Amino acid sequence: MKLEDLGKIVTLEYFRDPPPVVAVIPLAGIVGQLGPIRRGLTLAGLAEVIERAFKFRRLKAVALAVNSPGGSAVQSALIAKRIRDLASENDVPVYAFAEDVAASGGYWLALAADEIYADASSVIGSIGVVSGGFGFTQAIKRLGIERRLHTAGDRKAMLDPFRPEKASDVRHLESLQGDIHESFKAMVLERRGARLKARRKELFSGAFWTGKRALDMGLIDGLGDLRGVMRGKFGERVKLRRVTPAAPLWRRFGLSGALGTRPAPGEWAEAAIAAVEERLIWNRFGL
């Protein structure tokens, strides 16, 4: 048999029995808006990617490659809901794979999947809510700075960092955090249900664990990597199709500088602060 004839046979067999496809959506980074330079994970930025992931021919599943320490609860919920809605509409299973970390809002994203997998050393959990800031009341006194703030509404300036903290303001913040925490817990209970094996007090304490411990607690379904698990479920011939945002036309032609897309001088300070905040979020998990 000639080589070209063998090639025709292989091609014909490919079309007769095409390989299954798994669309891969990368969910890496902080959830939410970060600043003018670094963009976090938002529904606005991911909507088109999620839509495209469910439109592949011969699609067998959608895989979420999650590597996120969390961030915005709202954006986590919106992204997860869009994924669930499309999974239901198209009757396509979703699998999540935690890489270094799927914690807080990152774990919320993973909950969009029907099954969650992780490495034995992945960081999983942190089902809680955190809010942080700084107080500068003593600093401005030492510098001789007078704080001038005028509001309409006696609670409009709650938790102003340049004014002494009020107990009533803290209670209000804690109430907000409690509401968000309840939504997070409800999502965990809805998506994991009977698979949870640990006490709720421990699960919802805000603590985080390794993938191995998370498996014992029922927070994930198994240990494994995306490629290995998908091959195990759909065969060695499965095609993993990574879906990423399409680059704007002007960027493809290298016109970013000419079109003035570089940050303005005043945006660099904001970008630097955002980078520090992002680093602190990762550092909470030893990363």
Q: Rounded to two decimals, what is the model's pTM?
A: 0.79
Q: Give me the pLDDT at residue 250, please.
A: 44
- pLDDT tens column, 121-148: 999 999 976 655 555 566 666 666 766 6
The arithmetic mean of pLDDT across residues 73-82, rounded, is 96
Residues 16-48: tens digit of each pLDDT: 678 999 999 999 999 998 765 567 899 999 999
- Residue 10, pLDDT score: 47
Q: What is the pLDDT of residue 156?
A: 61
> What is the C-alpha to C-alpha distance for residues 126 and 81, in angstroms, rounded to an integer?
20
Q: What domains can you pick out in the chain, each with its CATH number?
A: 3-126+207-283 (3.90.226.10), 128-186 (no CATH)
How far apart CA 226 and CA 21 sit, in angstroms, is 13
Percent of the chain having pLDDT more than 90? 55
pLDDT on residue 286:
65
The three-state (H, E, C) secondary structure of the chain, written as one string = CCHHHHHHHHHHHHHHCCCCEEEEEEEECCECCCCCCCCCECHHHHHHHHHHHCCCCCEEEEEEEEEECCECHHHHHHHHHHHHHHHHHHCCCEEEEEEEEEECHHHHHHCCCCEEEECCCCEEECCCCCCCCCCCHHHHHHCCCCCCCCCCCCCCCCCCCCCCCCHHHHHHHHHHHHHHHHHHHHHHHHHHHHHCCCCHHHHCCCCEEEHHHHHHHCCCCEECCHHHHHHHHHCCCCEEEECCCCCCHHHHCCCCCCCCCCCCCCHHHHHHHHHHHHHHHHHCCCC
In whole angstroms, how far apart are CA 282 and each of 97, 102, 118, 138, 279? 18, 11, 18, 29, 5
Q: What is the pLDDT of residues 150-191, one digit of tens each?
A: 666 666 656 566 666 667 666 766 667 778 889 999 999 999
